[in-house]
Amino acid sequence: MTVRLQKYLSEAGVASRREGEKLIVAGRVTVDGQVVRLLGTKVDPATSAVSLDGRPLKPLAKRFVALNKPPKFLCTRRDTHDRRTVFDLLPADWGHLYTVGRLDADSEGLILLTNDGEFCQRVAHPSHGLLKTYRVTVAKRLGPEALERLTAGLRDKRDFLKAKRARLLTANNSRSEAELVLAEGKNREVRRMFKALGFRVLRLQRVAVGPVKLGELPPGKWRPLSRTEVASCLRPPGKTPRAARRN
């Protein structure tokens, strides 16, 4: 079975698909000894000899990891200011993984990492319908009217920001905690929604991505995803497991 060359590069752990396209266009990739610049090129992983800068490549075993990102860690491989990244929390030879989406530096909680390009695209893209759940602590009391505005949606600059669900967990005059479920993942969406409503976010933690739950995973620690979790993440939108349909 043939695959696109950029997918082969991502599965060999050298780049994401988008980064792989840049490598191809730059003429750094050869297939069977010939430089290939055409993005639609397909290769057979079993027979094609693919090299990057003259170095032969082979697809790596696929990994799917859940990590509890602490605050102040970046979701990037390297930082020009030598700040800590989530890859500092993983085994040294796992630098070929990349994050499925991101959390900003001040946010914490569940981050998924993989070297499977298809898994990354399916989970990250809003059309796949995977919901993301956040726990948010804000200064001041959060009331029913604010929750209604979060689920009704509001505008911030050119973006329409909206929570699919919002519920209050605790509240007093100095701080409140709420749970938000989002269907999309616009840049800093949760923080922007609360700022538009006049609330200062004190803590933002992602606790679930689709069927994958943060659970009791300690900050800075990781675990492999189960086969069931991986399959559930890749399941087409609206399709439920056979066992669930019987129940």
- Residues recognised as catalytic: 104
Q: How far is the CA of 79 from the CAs of 18, 74, 84, 88, in angstroms?
A: 19, 8, 8, 11
CA distances from 31 to 24, 95, 116, 193, 228 (A): 11, 24, 21, 48, 35
What is the Cα–Cα distance from 49 to 34, expressed in whole angstroms? 10
243 phi and psi, to 5 degrees?
-65, -40
Place of tokens 């759940």: 133
Q: CA of 161: how far to CAs of 109, 137, 149, 155, in Å?
A: 21, 19, 10, 6
Enumerate the β-bridge partners of residue 183. Answer: none
Q: How far apart are CA 116 and CA 86, in angstroms?
A: 18
Give the residues across from 168 on adjacent strands. Answer: 178
134-165: burial string, b at 16+ Cβ within 10 Å, e else:
bbbbbeeebeeebbebbeeeeeeeeeebbbee
Residue 62, both tokens: 């696929």
